[in-house]
Structures are given as structure tokens and as C-alpha cells.
Structure 1
Amino acid sequence: MSRELPWERLGNLATVKAGATPARKNGDRFYIGGTINWVKTGDLNNGRLYATEERVTEEAVNETSLSVHPPGTVLVAMYGGLQQIGRSALLECPATTNQAISALIPDRNKMLGEFLNYCLVSLRPNWRKVAASSRKDPNITKQDVLDFQVPVPPLHEQRRIAEILSSVDGAIAATRSVIEQTKKVKQGVLERLLTKGIGHTRFKQTEIGEIPEGWPLTSVDNVCTQVSVGIVIKPSQYYVENGVRCFRSANVREGFVEDADWVYISEEGNRANRKSVLRTGDVLVVRTGYPGTSCVVPPRYDGANCIDIIFARPKNELADPYFLSTFINSASGKTQVLKAEGGLAQKHFNVGAMKQMKLPLPPLNEQQEIVAHVQEFASTEAALQRNLEQQMGFKSALMSDLLTGRKRMPDTVPMAAE
């Protein structure tokens, strides 16, 4: 049975300090060769912070209003837009901060920094409400920080909750590490197969690098019957609660479909945009955000439509759709997606660039062999990704239960404050 937790103002639980930005014009004295961590909002990771991107010198601390905060201090972003406001971190190293961050130094007789940071992560939507409620430019003031309320269980319970959530974080970090390692191995195998093929001994140099001598270098346009883009003009005018499923960038992952956050359009809207109705085997490619991310339309989504993403329809006698998608996701494919005149990344990957993309073209049976080799790693990666999402969902539910008092830790002998 839950027992409701008491809540208190942060001003009663911690000392709140502001930061500063040493004058950039004195960079030779204040920044160059600096050894003291200096936290900016971009450093805040909602977890533990061990080091910063930028450092300042002892002169900067001595000659400005900067303070060096001890490990155990909790930092929270006060402004920088709603994407930044409320981001937090627990310091694991001595550090200073800029003026966009409040440093909360907990009274260890009342509040543990480890527990407080989990509270702030859980309550981040509340920060956004505070920031957006009364000002033209969203921000949090020092008074807002002092008045912000958090749950305050006994210290021994705070410690236990922090330990449990930290253990879950460790499992999540381990899963992420395995996913990254699997991706690296998969990319390594893929790059070897795309440059050496299977069983080849003679090779040639092309504009995309070395490939087997017997493979022609061609373009996406030459191996597809159609390369086009989904609905781009006011797609929301067609939205309905139930109707024809539509792919967006969020549904296209590297090698698989993200079956979540779908939007639907009316039958009338689908007829008006029948040129972008998808078929099984179409290759989908993201245009913005993570341009070049690609997957194939599986049979269950045959007849769906798409919004602001590229789709390519391979000629069955020339290109296996999974080979084309796999190539687009490769280092060579991504390099072409991101490369523009002058070497700058394009903000939008467009149909013209997709058509011109160069790719090697093994025989169909070899394309399918290459895909089969890579698919083993892709399947492992997808399973790990599902496991990660389950772990994150478990953590979210656990935080909700523990930080509201719906679930309480068994009574134990309270430990002395550290």
C-alpha cells in the first residue's frame, strides 16, 4: 500500500547558485589551456556528467563570478528553448557553469544529489510548463528554481531509490554499448562485402572506391522504375483518426520499420495522392533529420502512403530491394547522401540526388547473398533495440512509481547523511 510522499521547495533543500561566461575576448587567459570543467546546456545529459566539452582556467574563476561546484551538485538548464529547459545532470566532477544553468547544491541532511537528479528528470515537463506559462521567451528564473517542488522521502529511501534506478541505467548503458558494437561489426562486414564481394579475386577502382571487376557501377535511376517523394504539400489537411496508414521519417529505421506513431489520411486524400501509394518491396529513404536512413516496405504495409520521404521502386530483374536499401545505409551510400557541392551536408536529400546515387551492381544472386550475411547482424541489432525500448519503458514506469510514492521502499534503519 502506498504512502503519499511529502513535497518541498528546492529552496528548502538546496543552495542555488548561478553561473557565468568569462569574456571571450580574454580567451587566451580564460579558456586556452583551461583545466576546470565549464558546463553549458549542451553538456547536460539527464544523467551523470563526468567531463565537459569546454574548460576554463584558474584565472577565469579568480577574476569572474564563476564558482567551482563539488561532485554531487545537480545542474538544471534555465533557458535555451523548450528543447533545453529542464535538462539536468548530476556532477561527478568539480565544475563551473555558464549563466544558463542553475547549480543545486543539496543539503545532505535532507536531499541526496543522486535522488534529486532522478526527480528532475521525471518532472521535466513541469519545468517546461513553468517556462512557457508567463513569458514571451520561455525561461526559468532563479525564483522559479527556488519554488520548484519535489518529493522528499527519508534519506535512506532516497538512497535506495537512486541505487535501483542507477542499476537500471547501468543495464540500459550496457545494452546501448552492445548495440553500438553490433552496428560497427555489421558495417565492417557490409563494407567488406560491398568492396570485395563474395569469392572475387580481381578488382577495379571506381568513383565510389574499389569493387569487383565484374560488377558494373550504375545509378539508382537506372535500376528503378520510379524514384519519387511522398506527400509534401500540407499533408495534415488529409489527416484522420483512422484511414490509410502513412509512413513518415519517424517510421523509417536503418533496415526496419518503426511500428509506432503512425498518422493516417482519408481515402479521399489517398486518391488525391495515389502517385505515392507504396507497394511491397519499395525502398524508403529519409530526406530530413537523419537523411539517407533506409528500409524496405514489407508485405503488411502494402498500399500505405508516405509523407515527405523518398521512395524508390527497383526493377526486379536488376536490383533486390533489400540490397539497394542496404547499400544506401552503408558508409558509401551515406557519404553520397550527405555530400553536396563544396562538401557541405544537404539540409534535404532530394529525389534528384537519389536518382544520381552511384551503386555497384552484383548479379542478383550475389546481391541476395550479401543481404543474407548482413541480415544476421541486422536481426540481432533489431532484437537489442527492442530490448532497449523495453528497458527504457520499465525505467519510466519504475520512476513514476518510486518518485510518486505509489511504491515505497521497505522501512530500514536510516543511514547517516553523507
Structure 2
Amino acid sequence: MTEIKEGYKKTEIGVIPVEWDVVKLNKICKFKQGIQVPLEEQHTTKMSDTIRFLRISDYTQSTDDIRFVSKDYSDYIISSDDVVMVRYGETAGFIGTNLSGVLANNLFSINPNEKIIKKYLYTYLNDEKIYNYLKSLRAAGAMPAVSFKSLNVIKIPLPPLKEQEKIADILSTADERKDAIAVQIEKAKTLKIGLLQKLLSEGINHSEFKDSELGKIPKSWEVVKLDDMTIVITKGTTPTTLGFNYEDSGINFIKVESIGKNGNFIMNKFAYISEEANNSLQRSIIKENDLLLSIAGALGRVAIVNKDIVPANTNQALSIIRLKDEYIKEYVYFYLNSSQIQNHIDKINVQNAQANLSLQNIKNFKIALPPLKEQKQIAEILSTADKKLEVLRAKKDKHETLKIGLLQKLLSGEVRV
């Protein structure tokens, strides 16, 4: 039996300081659902007699679609420090704050009494244990929803008010640091997108341009079909159609979900096949330096295969693009990620009944191609921008991990403040 430290006690939610209490959420909070406002009473511009109307998307998305409604709905107005939860839909259980206005009917406010401060309440309801519980409620019904009754069972460790304040302030500061990194990431992304579009259409230090089927490009550039730049463009097969099962380990088998939006490989999303299966799927054996492009499901994701990934194989949802030696793979990678190609993919997708691209679609892609030296220069500039983004994302992930560890220690009283 684990010995309990002096100054602590064992409770139904774990070991906590002796001066802390454990209380049910409904004993310290009241829940109030928002109001349904007819669409014709919602306005897209602010007027003197209107106030912001808060919907699920205002909390869960970065949206420019802001609505306003009459101030007559005063009984449903919340303050920016109020804690709000999504009641219905795929995001049921999402916890939000920092917005003021009239609350919509698919949201509700959680209003604490004098024993708990709002910042501490918001912090605790964002804890992983609570998140997992609310997630299980979503999965339990045909219509994802959170009932007030289901919240009554949530038990909260309750420190004295001064300690609640300190805990909330420390974690709020951690959130502010994370948000600052997120702002840096957005700025770096914007810079990279600007660089991408400029370099892939104007090149480096050109003064003479010519008209092309892709618009104006530097005079020394060509427009080349992707098919003419490659040794092969092919795709894979699902192993089970040939009688092979997936394995617990073995040859990496890469699917669409194995490739992140940023062109990174997500190793824990790999499947595995046997060497026998890999040898039977010769057409889709992946080699180092191949480009992979998703052609079914999440269209247009691109990745460069590095030495850590091979040996590997893939299915029919990913195309394999193997370039001739005279082309720079990084340049083509960035071009496939450009708006020129991604918008073209979107147009093809709209024309198709299902979300997919054919190999012929890919072979017909037109690439604005500089001389080899300039391909290298452009790829190096864009790779530097990518590396800066990778560093910032890693910094954000590390900060999030540290914050979660700190959160657990503060909310259990292991670390006192």
C-alpha cells in the first residue's frame, strides 16, 4: 500500500491536500442553456441596438461569419469571463471562454457560486480526464450531446480560493506563451505562402518574362508536363485484395492518414505488411526520394520519402512520383503544394462524383520549371522557411507537453502554490 504524505489525504478522485475539498459540479455550479434565435433575426453587421450572437463556431473555429442579435435577449447574455460548454453535435463537451454576447441554444453557460472562481473552473474542465469523459458521452448516443444530468457526476478538487487563483494564473500564463508561439507559427506560415507563390511564378531576380499557359513566367523557364519529368507515376494496391493480411510489424505500409498536412510522416499511423506481400506488390514499392501524392480521401497531400521510411509500400490512395535525376525533388514537392496545383486538384475534385484523382490527371499536371541551378535556389529558400516552421511547431508541442504535466501536478496539489 502506497504511503500517503503528511498533509495529504486519499479521496475518491485521488490523493489531495488535506485542506482541499472534493465537490460535485452541480453543488457549486448552475447550468443555463442559451436561446434559439430565428435566422431572420440574426444580422451580419453591428448596430446600436444589437449585441454579438455566440454560436458553436465562434468557440470552435476561427470564423469571420460573426452574427448580431437584438439586446432584448438580455436574459441570455454572458460575460467574457463566463465558462461555456457545447451541448450538441460533434463538438459536444467543448469548453470555451473569452467571448461575450447572447448565447445560442446549442451552448450553455456553467455559472459557479462563491466557492470556485471561473478561471479555475475553466482550467479544471479542460483537464484530460474530463475531456475523455465528455468524449465518451458523445460516442454513447446517435446524436452527440451532453446533458446537465451527466455533468452532475463530475467531481472537482477544490482548493482554497487564493490557491485556485494562483493555479489559474500560472496555467493562464502558460497558455499565453503557447498562444504567442501560435502567433509566430501563423506569421511564419503567411511568410512561407507568400514566398511560395512569388518564387514559383516570378523566380529569383528576373526582369524579363513571357506569357505561358500558366500565366507570366520568367523568360528562361519552361512549362513541362509532370509525366515528362518522371521515370514512373504509379499507385499501389490494398494487400488484402491479393490475400495478404496486415501484420503487427514488418515493412512500412503508408496510407493517406500516414501523411500529415505539413508533408510529415506520422509513424504511428503506418500499417505493416510482410516481406512476401511487399515482394508481391512490386509496382508500389516505395524508394528513397520518391514523392507521394494523395489521390483519394484527403486529396493533395504531398511528402518526400526519406531513408528512414524505406523499405515501404503503399495502397491505391497514394500515387508514387519518381522523378528523373535532372530534376530537383524539393522544387517539385513545393510546386505540388502551390496554389497552382492545389486549386487544379480542387477543380478536378468538383467534377468527380467521388474525391479522387486519376494517374492521368497527375501525369497531365503542368509545372513551371526553372533551370536546374534556380530550382535548387528556390528549393533551399523554401526549405529554410519550412525548417523555421518545424522548429516553431516542435516548440509549441514541447510547451504543450510541459503544460499538461504542470496542470496535473497543480490540479492534484502535488505542487502547491
TM category (shorter chain) comes to 0.7 to 0.9
**Structure 1 stretch displaced more, 172-181 or 347-356:** 347-356
Which secondary structure state, in structure 2, belongs to the residue aligned with residue 138 of structure 1?
coil
Kept in 2, the 8 Å contact 1:37–1:51? The answer is: no
1:75 aligns with 2:84: yes
Choose from 303, 309, 322 the match for 1:313.
322
Offset at residue 95 of structure 1 (A): 2.2
1:245 corresponds to: 252
Choose from 300, 304, 307 the match for 1:299.
307
Kept in 2, the 8 Å contact 1:19–1:99? The answer is: yes
Offset at residue 366 of structure 1 (A): 2.1
Which secondary structure state, in structure 2, belongs to the residue aligned with residue 86 of structure 1?
coil
Paired with 1:51 and 1:401, the residues of 2 have a C-alpha distance of 38
Choose from 159, 168, 176 the match for 1:170.
176
Offset at residue 103 of structure 1 (A): 1.0
1:129 aligns with 2:129: no
1:281 corresponds to: 289
Paired with 1:41 and 1:93, the residues of 2 have a C-alpha distance of 12
1:382 aligns with 2:390: yes
Paired with 1:142 and 1:334, the residues of 2 have a C-alpha distance of 45
State the Cα RMSD in Å: 3.0
**Structure 1 stretch displaced more, 268-277 or 8-17:** 268-277
1:113 corresponds to: 118
* Aligned ranges 1:347-358 → 2 under 5 Å: 347-358=355-366
**AA partner of residue 109 (structure 2):** A
Kept in 2, the 8 Å contact 1:339–1:346? The answer is: no
Kept in 2, the 8 Å contact 1:248–1:306? The answer is: yes
Paired with 2:76 and 2:294, the residues of 1 have a C-alpha distance of 45
Give unmatched runs, 5+ long, in structure 2: 9-14
1:38 aligns with 2:53: yes
Kept in 1, the 8 Å contact 2:44–2:66? The answer is: no
Kept in 2, the 8 Å contact 1:32–1:57? The answer is: no
**Structure 1 stretch displaced more, 265-274 or 298-307:** 265-274
* Aligned ranges 1:6-405 → 2 under 5 Å: 6-24=21-39, 27=40, 29-31=41-43, 33=45, 35-45=50-60, 53-59=66-72, 61=73, 67-81=76-90, 84-90=91-97, 92-107=98-113, 109-122=114-127, 123-133=130-140, 135-232=141-238, 238-253=245-260, 254-287=262-295, 291-307=299-315, 308-317=317-326, 319-340=327-348, 347-405=355-413
**AA partner of residue 8 (structure 1):** V
Q: Could you give the per-residue CA deviations for residues 77-135 of structure 1, whole angstroms, max 9, x where no partner exists?
A: 22203xx1211102x3432222222210111x2112222222222211111223444x4
Paired with 2:354 and 2:100, the residues of 1 have a C-alpha distance of 40
Give unmatched runs, 5+ long, in structure 1: 411-418
Change (3 A) 1:225 1:174: same
Paired with 1:74 and 1:51, the residues of 2 have a C-alpha distance of 22
Change (3 A) 1:75 1:338: same
Offset at residue 200 of structure 1 (A): 3.2
**What percentage of aligned pairs have identical amino acids?**
23
Offset at residue 32 of structure 1 (A): 5.7
Which secondary structure state, in structure 1, belongs to the residue aligned with residue 78 of structure 2?
coil
Offset at residue 17 of structure 1 (A): 0.3
Choose between structure 1 and 2 for higher RCO, CA contacts under 8 A separated by at least 6 residues. 1
Change (3 A) 1:279 1:205: same
The number of equivalent residue pairs is 394
**AA partner of residue 38 (structure 1):** F
Query: Please, what TM-score do these two structures have when normalized by structure 1?
Result: 0.84
Kept in 2, the 8 Å contact 1:10–1:150? The answer is: yes
Paired with 1:97 and 1:237, the residues of 2 have a C-alpha distance of 54
Kept in 2, the 8 Å contact 1:72–1:113? The answer is: yes
Offset at residue 30 of structure 1 (A): 4.6
Paired with 2:350 and 2:294, the residues of 1 have a C-alpha distance of 22
Change (3 A) 1:172 1:251: farther
